[in-house]
Amino acid sequence: MKKYSICIVGGASRYTPDMLAMLCNQKDRFPLKKIVLYDNESERQNIVGKYAEILFKEYYPELEEIIYTTDEKEAFKDIDFALMQIRAGRLKMREKDEKISLKHECLGQETCGPGGFAYGLRSVPAVINLIKSIRTYSSECWILNYSNPAAIVAEATKRVFPSDYRIINICDMPIAIMDIYASVLGLKRRDLEPKYFGLNHFGWFTHILNKKTGEDYLPKLREILKTPVDVQTEPLFKEPSWKATFEFMSQMINDYDEYLPNTYLQYYLYPNKMRDKENPEYTRANEVIDGNEKETYGRLREIISLGKIRGTKYEITSDVGCHAEYIVDLATAIANNTNEIFLTITENNGAIQNVSSGMMVEVPCRVGSNGVEPLAVGSIPTFYKGLMENQYAYEKLSVDACLEGSYQKALQALVLNRTVVNTNIAKELLEDLMEANKGYWNELR
């Protein structure tokens, strides 16, 4: 079996340690010879890197090379896959995104609303520069991108690298939601095949099929999920704010009589309610900084001082890191040309009949060694088409604003966003966001 070389771009992320443990568990399926961690923050990268050395010594002795570096050439040369998970401006800027939004009475959220817009204008230049650099050193590697806000990032990568089919944009949320469906049905996610359409963080499941029998569980799931469920899922989603998000699915299912919505639709369909739930002094960024982030780096520091994992309370179990497993699923589908079906963010090209062919949609796609091919969805009803076209216009204008440095387009984008709408508020937001994002955003004129 061929062994692969991969680089995790954003290697110092709090998501990396679980991802590395997961790669240890997946070595039979996705054997590796080299793992590179690349980040532009050397201090954090060193912590994750030292942890990785201990981990791989104990759990992946077959690995030939482990590199952690802030040097792009060292990181990107001779790799088969780049897994991109960067957060431009880190959680500090996420906190500003959320708090500035709330100050102007809009909801404060990582990828939706003005917060997502601000993050998009930081992410796009950073992702583009990194992809250019990756292409300098590994012209043919696969770039599996899940940097947020994925909708805006995907629109930008399509525009800047139009013929580069080895860039794939993907999000884990549909998978996380399907884990919930599987758990309430008493099945495994891998038993289920979704039919779905939408944009990233903006879509609907239309069928949840049993892969073997073809039975559609959607009607049954809608009935079950009309009552809030206490989700049995992985640690991230056990946190109170995620618990509330999953409980709110029931509201959307009760209010709308078809399909099953992506949880992120709560922000667009109930923007004021979501805003009112938030604490403007202590947002999700604060929760993550004080919670998961602190916990993760604390754990790594302790492991480094112990110099071992085996025989400590940090032993890796065989089910760790299931969250990021979909990335390995995706990589193996490409490597082995399996043509398995994944929900990815890709150019519509007629998959949804009655929206534009250039729209970056999230739909089921066949994935193999020639890349991603969207499957036919058919026509969608007016309500969804209207919502999607409005949201996609917002996404396009956000990318225009960024690539052209256009204030007008930025203003138009924000006004189109369902969580903003008012021109006067959009102008005030832009003033504060431009100030806060100096050095991250392309200048808007």
Binding site for ligand G6P (CB under 6 A): 110-111, 148, 171-173, 176, 236, 284, 288
Stretch that binds Mn ion, among 170-178, 214-222, 283-291, 354-362 (CB under 5 A): 170-178
Structure tokens that stand for 56 in this block: 């791989």
| Binding partner of 152, given Mn ion, ligand G6P, none, CB within 5-8 angstroms per partner class | none
Rg (CA), the chain: 21
For residues 224 and 206, the answer to whether their CB atoms sit within 8 Å is no
- State in angstroms the smallest separation of the CB of 342 from ligand G6P: 14
d(CA 198, CA 261): 10
- State in angstroms the smallest separation of the CB of 155 from ligand G6P: 16
Of positions 9, 134, 171, 231, contacts Mn ion by CB under 5 A? 171
Which is nearer to ligand G6P, 91 or 209 (by Cβ)? 91
Q: Which of residues 70-129 bind Mn ion (CB under 5 A)?
A: none
Stretch that binds Mn ion, among 12-20, 42-50, 164-172, 434-442 (CB under 5 A): 164-172
Structure tokens that stand for 369 in this block: 């060694």
148 in a labelled binding site = yes
- State in angstroms the smallest separation of the CB of 245 from ligand G6P: 9
| Binding partner of 110, given Mn ion, ligand G6P, none, CB within 5-8 angstroms per partner class | ligand G6P
Residue type, 280: P
| Binding partner of 58, given Mn ion, ligand G6P, none, CB within 5-8 angstroms per partner class | none
- State in angstroms the smallest separation of the CB of 288 from ligand G6P: 5
- State in angstroms the smallest separation of the CB of 214 from ligand G6P: 28
Which is nearer to ligand G6P, 84 or 176 (by Cβ)? 176
SS3 state of residue 217? coil
User: Which residues, 6 or more positions from 56, have their beta carbon under 8 angstroms from its beta carbon?
Assistant: 20, 24, 35, 63, 66
Spot the catalytic one: 59, 146, 181, 264: 264
For 28-79, where are the E strands, in sequence order? 32-38, 65-69
445 in a labelled binding site = no
173 lies in the binding site for Mn ion (CB under 5 A): yes
Q: How many CA atoms lie within 13 A of 17 on its CB side?
A: 25
d(CA 67, CA 55): 13
Whether 172 sits among the annotated catalytic residues: the reply is yes
d(CA 365, CA 202): 17
User: Which residues, 6 or more positions from 310, have their beta carbon under 8 angstroms from its beta carbon?
Assistant: 58
The full 3-state SS of 13-42, as one line of letters, equals: CCCHHHHHHHHHHCCCCCCEEEEEEECCCH
Catalytic residues: 172, 264
**Residues contributing to the annotated binding site for Mn(2+):** 171, 201
Q: Which residues of this protein are in contact with Mn ion, per CB under 5 A? A: 171, 173
**Residues contributing to the annotated binding site:** 94, 148, 171, 201, 284
